[in-house]
């Protein structure tokens, strides 16, 4: 008879936490560079153009 698997999450808790933190950090890094910095550049270009036309 095969013994049932018990407390698998408790046995590998540090692994699950580490993988979760690593993937979360990678996702946040990707979001920052793909979305936030892109929007910042577009907004900056808009205001440069806007202020040039205003003057």
**Is the pLDDT confidence value at 26 over 70?**
yes
Q: What are phi and psi of 3, to 5 degrees?
A: -70, 140
DSSP states along 1-55:
-PPPP--HHHHTHHHHHHHHHHHHHHHHHHHIIIIIHHHHHHHHHHHHHHHHHH-
The pLDDT-based confidence of 9 (bands split at 50, 70, 90) is low
Task: Check: CB of residue 45 under 8 Å from CB of residue 38.
Answer: no
Rounded Cα gap, residues 20 and 11, in angstroms: 16
The average pLDDT across 24-42 equals: 95
The average pLDDT across 12-34 equals: 93
The pLDDT-based confidence of 34 (bands split at 50, 70, 90) is very high
């Amino acid at each position: 008879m095969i013994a049932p698997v018990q407390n698998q999450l408790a046995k590998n808790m540090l692994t699950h936490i580490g993988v979760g933190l690593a993937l979360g950090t990678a996702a946040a890094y990707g979001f920052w560079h793909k979305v936030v910095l892109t929007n910042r550049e577009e907004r900056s270009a808009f205001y440069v153009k806007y202020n040039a036309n205003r003057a």
